[in-house]
Amino acid sequence: MKTLTEEKFSNFYQKWMAELEDLLLSLAKDPPQGPACAAAIGKLTAHHKEYYRFKWASAHEDVLAFFCGPVWLSPLETAHLWLTGWKPSAAFRLIPAAGLTAEQARRIEVLRGRMRVEEGRVEGEMERLQVAVADRKAVEEVRRGGAEEAAVGGFLEGLERVMKMADCVRLKTLKGLLEILSPMQSVEFLATNALFQIRVRKLGMIEGSGLVS
Per-residue model confidence as pLDDT tens for the chain (213 residues): 889 999 999 999 999 999 999 999 999 999 999 999 999 999 999 999 999 999 999 999 999 999 988 999 999 999 999 999 999 999 999 998 889 999 999 999 999 999 999 999 999 999 888 554 445 455 666 666 555 555 567 788 999 999 999 999 999 999 999 999 999 999 999 999 999 999 999 999 887 664 444
Composition of the chain by helix, strand, coil, percent to 5:
75, 0, 25
- pLDDT score for 133: 41
The answer to whether the beta carbons of residues 162 and 121 sit under 8 Å apart is no
The answer to whether the beta carbons of residues 91 and 173 sit under 8 Å apart is yes
Find, among 95, 94, 111, the residue nearest to 172 by Cα.
Answer: 111
HSE, side-chain direction, 13 A CA sphere, residue 197: 23
Cβ neighbours, 10 Å, residue 121: 12
Find, among 140, 48, 120, the residue nearest to 85 by Cα.
Answer: 48
- pLDDT score for 212: 43
- pLDDT score for 109: 97
- pLDDT score for 211: 45
Which helix (H) or strand (E) element contains residue 198?
A: helix 183-207
Q: How far apart are CA 91 and CA 95, in angstroms?
A: 7
